[in-house]
Chains A and B, each alone.
Chain A
Amino acid sequence: MLDVSYMSGGYGRADVLENVSLKVAQGEAVALLGPNGAGKSTLMAALTATLPRRAGTLRLDGRDLSRARSHDLVAAGMALVPEGRLIFTPFTVRDNLRLGAIALSRRGRLAERHDYVFGLFPRLAERVGQRAGTLSGGEQQMLAIGRALMSKPRLLLLDEPFLGLAPMIVSEIVAALRKLQRDGLTILLVEQKLDIALTCTTRAYVMLKGAVALESSTHDLAQRPDLHDLYFKLSAPRTP
């Protein structure tokens, strides 16, 4: 479904990403792992065209979208839950969700999307008239995910959605992601912690210093005895 090859890009003149290639198949849940500063969020920005891409191709269902702008990518079925959530805090929950659906072509689907998101996160339905800035951190994250789902994406990108959340909320959101996957959504999850990624993805890419260092099934990754030093080992220079 998603096919990225040799993508490079970055902020200002410096490239953060170096020839990143990855694939996500239809219905798959893939994790993008890596330590702080590995370029995971930069890759998310490049995939959603909020950062200029200097080289490489991006295909979605075989369609070449390498030069597409952000709103075209949303219309093509890709949605990102960005790092730091970026919800519109002065707006109500309702308005945030409505904006998420701005790319929906047909109005009739709006009610259907609302029902779907409220079914996934019933708490949002209770808080629909409340200003987003007054929600708790967990609820804000649910809103950020719900808002991304309003455009009826086929591929959902999530950038560290569990950051700073209480364990209870984490398992609630993990359950929601599992349900989304059962409903046929393809997921690419950016995460720092391996253990969380293991609970809701089947395959993983490990990014280091702006490049993909390793690709593996999450199951195999979990079996590795050197799991805890993995980032350190991968980033160390290889001795001949």
Chain B
Amino acid sequence: MSDLLELVVSATASGSIYALVALAYLLILRPTSIINFAVGEWAATGAFVGVAAQTTLAWPALDGPYWLAVIAVLVCLGALGWLVEALTVRPLIARGANITSPILALLGVLVIFRESLTMLFGADPLPSPPPFGFKRVAFGLFAGVPQQFLIITVTFVLFAAVWLFFERTVWGRAFEAVALNRRAAALMGINLRRVTTFAFVSGAMVAGLAGLLMSPLTSAHYMMGLPLAIQGFTALVIGGVGRVEGALLGGLVLAFVEQLGARYLPIPSGLTLGFPFVLLILFLFLRPSGLMPPREAR
């Protein structure tokens, strides 16, 4: 039983990471209709920036508490998200390019990020110091390492905040309005370019945070981006692209299927890597709108 409960903690933590990556996709996809597969690499970048900030690799002055690493990741990734949007997406949209053009351009960005990470930090995994150590902690029946509880807490708080932003603030409504109908949103006086910029900046920040949070459990590695991109995308498809809650639900469902399958199904553990794809195909065939369909089609 305690075995199962520990698995619940571990799956919830992994699911939270997937959910954060799915949220990064969603923040960009909703207002712009652009699927940005580079979010996985942005998460990897977040992990490396976090390690660099904490281990004084780059800035000795920043050898300090964990929150400095958090700020460094948010600032760097926000700036990178802004730069990527300004250099690749904005010129294409301004020239009236088809929506597939920015998606392809962002695949190029994915490669650039991965190769830059290899050149800057090398091909070996870098251990990332956990802010609260590796001592096992227990909350009632649920036990795990502190990092797992940190991941879960941050993710749920962040999702609550994003949900409140979309549902309760006028700018959140404006984002949704852009997702529903760009032309009508422009006629309201919403600055579409600013919304696009904000989408990329916030998406990059959330992706970077996901990488930073997971790195103490997995180390920062230049190959960590692609699996995250696939798992996050799968979580998005499972949950449905229309709602913020869907990303969280999708991430959790994916992680529980993965971990319960690895634990209890009589298959070699390596095969569990295929679970996201199986779920992705199943959902695309059987329930393409996801578990939480959008409130209304455009």
Residues of A within 8 A of B (CB): 45, 48-50, 52, 69-71, 74-75, 79-80, 82, 86-91, 95, 98-100, 102-103, 133, 147-148, 151
Contact = CB atoms under 8 A, between A and B. Distances in A.
Contacts of A91: 173, 176-177
A79 B187 contact: yes
Nearest to B194: A71
Chain B's interface size range is 20 to 34
B178 to A, nearest CB: 10
A103 B184 CA distance: 14
Minimum-distance CB pairs A-B, first 4: A103-B189, A74-B189, A86-B184, A70-B186
Contacts of A147: 188
B295 interface: yes
A90 B177 CA distance: 10
Contacts of A71: 186, 189-192
Nearest to A150: B188
A102 B174 contact: yes
B295 to A, nearest CB: 4
A86 B186 contact: no
Given A91-B173, A99-B170, A99-B174, A48 B187 contact: yes
B173 A99 contact: yes
Interface of B: 96, 170, 173-174, 176-177, 180-181, 183-193, 295-296
B243 to A, nearest CB: 11
Contacts of A133: 296
A95 B177 CA distance: 10
Contacts of A48: 186-187
A75 to B, nearest CB: 6
A27 B102 CA distance: 45
A89 to B, nearest CB: 6
A67 B190 CA distance: 17
Contacts of B185: 99
A107 B54 CA distance: 43
Nearest to B180: A88
B125 to A, nearest CB: 45
B186 A102 contact: no
B226 to A, nearest CB: 35
A111 to B, nearest CB: 14
A133 to B, nearest CB: 6
A99 B96 contact: no
Contact of A86 (B183, B295, B296): B183
A99 B183 contact: no
B189 A75 contact: yes
